[in-house]
Amino acid sequence: MLKLGVNIDHVATLREARYRGQPWGEPDPVLAAQISEAAGAHGITAHLREDRRHILDRDIWRLREVVKTRFNLEMANVPEIVAIALKLKPDIICLVPEHRLEVTTEGGLDVVANETALARTCAQMRTAGIEVSLFIDPDERQIAASARLGCEFIELHTGSFAHEFNDAAGRERELDRLTAAARQAHSLGLGVNAGHGLNYHNLAALHRVPHLVELNIGHSIISHAVTVGLSTAVTEMLRLMENYPG
């Protein structure tokens, strides 16, 4: 069964647009996580950025208390956030690149260039009983390096697939890249997740990619929830994920 992790960052983005600097505010990302779980989500994802532009420290501690499925903490490989993760003990972390001027995470982590630093963090998380995923482009060298680090998962960056989706040739090229990457990762013993830019229109095409364990989706679900409600938005996304052949 293909699992759904709901990313609640954009709920916090909306809150911070009005209540930045306040110890309260709406909408509440923690409540959004609870609604998503009640609707059938298999996990909750939140990104604690260095600049704290959306998810805040108080959010992740409350999430750790209330999430009943699987809590995935997205984070940069920097000492401050690593230290927080080791205390928080989420079920899994996903290491991502982070740039101050980006609107959301753009592009995959360069595991090859940062293998030594990533190895140290992976070892710390392994000792703490926290699984590790690396958010990477569907690139052979990056997958091989991820396997060398001994992490449990990779998350394939599907941004290029989403960008090319309306162009038939581009869509096929990106699906081929994702398929090859998933097969390579699986052969090396890595669990394969995927995310970025996935929505209600392009998700069905991703059924061609084998060995997927979980899709992490945020913006499309939260956007759709504005008109249909969050519970319905999650349910409709789960319906699109049914019958994934694996």
Q: Is 47 a catalytic residue?
A: yes
Q: Could you say which architecture CATH assigns to the domain 3-241?
A: Alpha-Beta Barrel (3.20)
Under-70 pLDDT residues of the chain: 99-106
Catalytic residue among 10, 47, 54, 157: 47
Q: Is 196 a catalytic residue?
A: yes
Catalytic residue among 174, 196, 214, 224: 196
Distance CA 236, CA 241 (A): 9
pLDDT recorded at residue 77: 97
pLDDT recorded at residue 212: 98
Catalytic residue among 74, 131, 174, 214: 74
pLDDT recorded at residue 45: 98
Q: What are phi and psi of 6, to 5 degrees?
A: -95, 120
Distance CA 96, CA 228 (A): 31
Distance CA 79, CA 97 (A): 14
Q: Is 74 a catalytic residue?
A: yes
Q: How is residue 205 annotated by DSSP?
A: G
Domains of the chain: which residue ranges? 3-241
> In the structure encoding, which two tokens stand for residue 87, read together?
């205390």
pLDDT recorded at residue 107: 77
